[in-house]
């Protein structure tokens, strides 16, 4: 497992310390959980952004949403 060092401002560090002490979990646990949650959001955002840019540069035609055949649930 890799490791990464981060710098936090004093207020954020204090908040993280209080949370860790209150719950009995490590600061690393909360940093890891927050990173994983936010990382997924960033991945989704940049995938969508890159896909949109790729589409804009293509010659593909738009498809009206009403013309899309959706699978039955």
Would you state the pLDDT for residue 35? 95
Per the listing, tokens 């207020």 go with 11
* pLDDT value for 73: 78
pLDDT score, position 59: 87
The burial of 16, by beta-carbon neighbours within 10 Å (0-12 exposed, 13-18 middle, 19 or more buried), is given as middle
pLDDT at 21: 98
pLDDT in tens, the chain (73 residues): 888 999 999 999 999 999 999 999 999 999 999 999 999 999 999 999 999 999 999 989 888 999 988 898 7
What is the pLDDT, as a whole number, of residue 40? Answer: 92
């Amino acid at each position: 497992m890799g490791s990464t060092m981060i710098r936090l401002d004093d207020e954020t560090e204090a908040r993280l310390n209080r949370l860790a002490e209150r719950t009995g979990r490590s600061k690393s646990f909360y940093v890891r959980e927050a990173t994983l949650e936010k990382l997924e959001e960033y991945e989704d955002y940049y995938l969508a952004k890159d896909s949109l840019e790729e589409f804009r540069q293509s010659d593909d035609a738009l498809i009206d949403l009403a013309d899309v055949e959706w699978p039955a649930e």
